[in-house]
Chains A and B, each alone.
Chain A
Amino acid sequence: MQSVSPTAELPRTGRVLNYLNNGYTARSWLLSTDHKRVAILYLISVTLFFFAGGAAAVLFRLELMTPPGDLVQPETYNKLFTLHGIIMVFFFLIPSIPAVLGNFLVPLMIGARDLAFPRLNLLSWYVFIAGGTLTMYAALAGGVDTGWTFYTPYSSMFAKTHVTAAALGVFISGFSSILTGLNFIVTIHTMRAPGLHWFRLPLFIWSIYATSLIMILGTPVVAVTILLVGIERIWRIGIFDPSLGGDPILFQHLFWFYSHPAVYIMILPGMGVISELITCFSRKRIFGYSFVAFASIAIAVLGFLVWGHHMFVSGQSMYAGMVFSFLSFFVAVPSAVKVFNWTATLYRGSILLQTPMLYAMGFIGLFTLGGLTGLFLATLAVDVHVHDTYFVVAHFHYIMVGGMVMAYLGGIHFWWPKMTGRMYPEWWGRLSALIIFVGFNLTFFPQFILGYVGMPRRYYAYPDEFQVLNVMSSAGASILGAGYLIPLGYLLWSLKYGKLVGENPWGASGLEWQTSSPPPTENFSTTPQVTQPAYTYPHTEELLLG
């Protein structure tokens, strides 16, 4: 296996001022408007949320080891999957790549000193933490049992759990993603370095831009929807409850108008990361730059037109269902364009199988599987059969976990030396990437079969014949859990003992690799001038191998 030789000299001994050693007090972190420090704040918070959401999953996977409900009460089971969904969707997946890697990288990649509104950026973290705290309070005070979708009228009129606090937490954290999206769009428009025109931008920036569009246009709608649920719940005034003259289907329309585009918030940034990883570790320019760039925008736009495919069996009109089905097939086109272009980029590249690349390869395979099963679900007749079964659960976990979490971990490993100035241990990295891939497939592939043969989701007990597949899934989940704990351990270890790296340990293109690792607070000592398109790798390859 080839290894990457360091291209830059190691940092000089002696204390070079960078964003990490520029102040050690709590105040210098908690009141910092440096986008890199805010990114680290987000990194710590979403990691905590990830393991909290994961703990809930461990509990319900344990319950599902045996057919009868024996470990937890049915109410507890409902609270566990609700907590898992709410935390993972709103407090891990949505902020993961945008708020951690996006915050850290957007200014660096476009050669700017910071985001356009640094104080707004810090505010968005506090808003996020306020929303998260409220939701965690709801979880600890007794939990929520509505599912992460808060379907009415159950959530607004009947649920006896802490729906209001949890919904308010989601409402508040929504403003955090609105502020983040707004900040990114303005930054990308107004703060690019001289010479860095739109078609020289790294594709990660395009994907973050597309994600931000969804954040600013979708999130306000879910905010107003949650507000209406809160009003119906607190004052018992009819909005969505049919017995009060309301229309529960209206809730589903409003909810999915945001929440379907939101699933693209949970995959587009991952696609951006993959474009960076694939080009770097195959030492090639991306195949069809503008196709990949516009595919991101197309996904963001089409994503707003397909929400009705969540409602094929809800009682919406059959004709609406047909239109939504057709449009859902349509959104597969730009996604497939990306997969084809990544694959074509690999062709005759000098492929290096470092840890980030292993995650990228995992992403392509698992995302393809998740995407293709999405086509089954977009087909009206098939959806009626598998709606609300484990088939759906497996499908979206292939996208969210097999796609987004793989891309997130790949990105964290790739930019870890830039963020910390130290390299993670490569052997452990490869091992855990492999464990995660195996554990993931063992967890979720059996769920496709379970769903197809008829096991509904969200039930805490099931007939005996489903046990083998459920045990496989739970076993996979324990492997997956171990796979996630290993990086947590060695990444923390590397903070102190990792090998020091120079400014560009991967020999990667991109402006973020032209400043020191970790970068100084002001990012660049002189404003970079850009004269070349993105991913000028053949040149770097000569340097490395020649």
Chain B
Amino acid sequence: MDQQRDAASLGMWIFLATEVMFFGGLFAAYAVYRWSYPAAFAEASHQLNALLGAANTAVLLTSSLCMALAVHAAQTGSRRRLMLFLALTMILGSLFLVIKGYEWSHEIHLGLLPGATFTYVSPSPAFSATQVEMYFMLYFLMTGVHGFHMIIGLCLLMYLMVQAFRKRFTPDYFAPVEVIGLYWHFVDVVWIFLFPLLYLIGSK
């Protein structure tokens, strides 16, 4: 049993290492283009709603706290508290997606979605609309991939909820709660990097 728990936990850590490398590729692309087009990136960043971004950061951090409390509840064998904190984590995770979805729809409405719908016109000769489009390409891709991870996370939490409801977890067996908790914290940490890099460039 101990061996299985070790294996599950190590497996998740290794999986998260692959995730770091996956996002690392995107962050590398971001770094290269921000270095190439600093003015365009600062201007594009001002198109985002930093207040909503900050609120979402708070929501996600709180959901991580709830997840940590859920793992603790599983360790101590308190099933009701486990289900309560899993539910809170899911509610906060969903709230994050709702706010993010609202931001996206607003930005799409403003014509900031790259491709045929991109209608942004550069107000200054210092940078071109293409460069701003590059920023939004990275913005939508990075937040999109992050949101996709959130949706996967919510499905996993749903699975934990069902298992907890069926009384599958005991203080001796709660490895799934622990490793899915790790995943959830990881997705949170990715956002901690995305928020300043995307929302807070060149703000005065």
| A binding-site residues for B, Cβ under 8 Å | 116-117, 178, 182-183, 185-187, 189-191, 216-221, 223-225, 228, 231, 235-239, 244-247, 250, 253-254
For B33, what are the chain A residues with a Cβ–Cβ distance below 8 Å?
A: 245, 247
Are B11 and A182 in touch, CB under 8 angstroms?
yes
For A178, what are the chain B residues with a Cβ–Cβ distance below 8 Å?
A: 18
The chain A residue with its CB closest to the CB of B141 is A231
| B binding-site residues for A, Cβ under 8 Å | 3, 6-7, 10-11, 14-15, 17-19, 21-26, 28-29, 32-33, 36-37, 114-115, 128, 130-131, 133-134, 137, 141
Given A186-B11, A217-B18, A245-B37: A238 touches B134 (CB 8 Å cut-off): yes
The A contact surface, by secondary structure, is helix
How far, in Å, is A387 (CB) from chain B's closest CB? 24
Are B7 and A216 in touch, CB under 8 angstroms?
no
Are B29 and A191 in touch, CB under 8 angstroms?
no
Are A186 and B25 in touch, CB under 8 angstroms?
no
Are A250 and B32 in touch, CB under 8 angstroms?
yes
Given A224-B26, A238-B134: A247 touches B32 (CB 8 Å cut-off): yes
Given A237-B115, A245-B128, A254-B28: A221 touches B21 (CB 8 Å cut-off): yes
How far, in Å, is A388 (CB) from chain B's closest CB? 25
Distance in angstroms between the alpha carbons of A246 and B134 in the assembled complex: 8
Given A225-B25, A228-B29: A236 touches B115 (CB 8 Å cut-off): yes
Are A247 and B36 in touch, CB under 8 angstroms?
yes
Distance in angstroms between the alpha carbons of A189 and B22 in the assembled complex: 24
For A216, what are the chain B residues with a Cβ–Cβ distance below 8 Å?
A: 14, 17-18, 21
Q: Which of B6, B24, B25, B28 has the most chain A CB atoms closer than 10 A to its own CB?
A: B25
Distance in angstroms between the alpha carbons of A428 and B154 in the assembled complex: 58
Distance in angstroms between the alpha carbons of A245 and B130 in the assembled complex: 7
17 pairs of residues in contact across A and B, judged by CB atoms under 8 Å: A117-B11, A182-B11, A182-B15, A186-B10, A190-B6, A216-B14, A216-B18, A217-B18, A221-B21, A224-B22, A224-B26, A237-B114, A245-B33, A245-B130, A245-B133, A247-B36, A254-B25
For the complex of A and B, the 3 pairs showing the least CB-CB separation, nearest first, are A224-B25, A220-B22, A220-B21
Distance in angstroms between the alpha carbons of A238 and B33 in the assembled complex: 11
Distance in angstroms between the alpha carbons of A69 and B29 in the assembled complex: 41
Given A116-B7, A182-B11, A231-B141: A239 touches B18 (CB 8 Å cut-off): no
Distance in angstroms between the alpha carbons of A191 and B6 in the assembled complex: 10
For B14, what are the chain A residues with a Cβ–Cβ distance below 8 Å?
A: 182, 185-186, 216
How far, in Å, is A395 (CB) from chain B's closest CB? 28
Distance in angstroms between the alpha carbons of A178 and B19 in the assembled complex: 11
The chain B residue with its CB closest to the CB of A234 is B115
Are B137 and A237 in touch, CB under 8 angstroms?
yes
How far, in Å, is B31 (CB) from chain A's closest CB? 10
Distance in angstroms between the alpha carbons of A231 and B14 in the assembled complex: 28
Distance in angstroms between the alpha carbons of A246 and B6 in the assembled complex: 44
Partner of A250, one of B29, B131, B133: B29
Distance in angstroms between the alpha carbons of A182 and B10 in the assembled complex: 9
How far, in Å, is B145 (CB) from chain A's closest CB? 9
Distance in angstroms between the alpha carbons of A189 and B10 in the assembled complex: 9
Given A224-B22, A228-B29, A245-B131: A238 touches B7 (CB 8 Å cut-off): no
Are B24 and A221 in touch, CB under 8 angstroms?
yes
Are A238 and B133 in touch, CB under 8 angstroms?
yes
How far, in Å, is B136 (CB) from chain A's closest CB? 9
The chain B residue with its CB closest to the CB of A249 is B32
Are B21 and A191 in touch, CB under 8 angstroms?
no
Distance in angstroms between the alpha carbons of A247 and B114 in the assembled complex: 17
The chain A residue with its CB closest to the CB of B13 is A186
Distance in angstroms between the alpha carbons of A238 and B115 in the assembled complex: 9
Partner of A238, one of B6, B22, B25, B130: B130
The chain B residue with its CB closest to the CB of A237 is B114
For A186, what are the chain B residues with a Cβ–Cβ distance below 8 Å?
A: 7, 10-11, 14
The chain B residue with its CB closest to the CB of A254 is B25
Distance in angstroms between the alpha carbons of A247 and B32 in the assembled complex: 9
How far, in Å, is B22 (CB) from chain A's closest CB? 4
The chain B residue with its CB closest to the CB of A222 is B25
For B37, what are the chain A residues with a Cβ–Cβ distance below 8 Å?
A: 245
Are B29 and A238 in touch, CB under 8 angstroms?
no
For B26, what are the chain A residues with a Cβ–Cβ distance below 8 Å?
A: 224
The chain A residue with its CB closest to the CB of B3 is A190
Given A221-B24, A221-B25: A235 touches B115 (CB 8 Å cut-off): yes
Distance in angstroms between the alpha carbons of A187 and B11 in the assembled complex: 9
Given A190-B10, A235-B115, A245-B37: A221 touches B141 (CB 8 Å cut-off): no
How far, in Å, is A171 (CB) from chain B's closest CB? 11
How far, in Å, is A70 (CB) from chain B's closest CB? 43
How far, in Å, is A80 (CB) from chain B's closest CB? 30
Q: Which of A220, A223, A244, A253 has the most chain B CB atoms closer than 10 A to its own CB?
A: A220
For A236, what are the chain B residues with a Cβ–Cβ distance below 8 Å?
A: 115
The chain A residue with its CB closest to the CB of B40 is A245
How far, in Å, is B25 (CB) from chain A's closest CB? 4
Are B7 and A117 in touch, CB under 8 angstroms?
yes
Distance in angstroms between the alpha carbons of A231 and B131 in the assembled complex: 16
Given A220-B25, A235-B114, A254-B29: A244 touches B130 (CB 8 Å cut-off): yes
For A116, what are the chain B residues with a Cβ–Cβ distance below 8 Å?
A: 7, 11
For B114, what are the chain A residues with a Cβ–Cβ distance below 8 Å?
A: 235, 237
Distance in angstroms between the alpha carbons of A235 and B115 in the assembled complex: 6
Distance in angstroms between the alpha carbons of A253 and B3 in the assembled complex: 40
How far, in Å, is A403 (CB) from chain B's closest CB? 26
For A250, what are the chain B residues with a Cβ–Cβ distance below 8 Å?
A: 28-29, 32
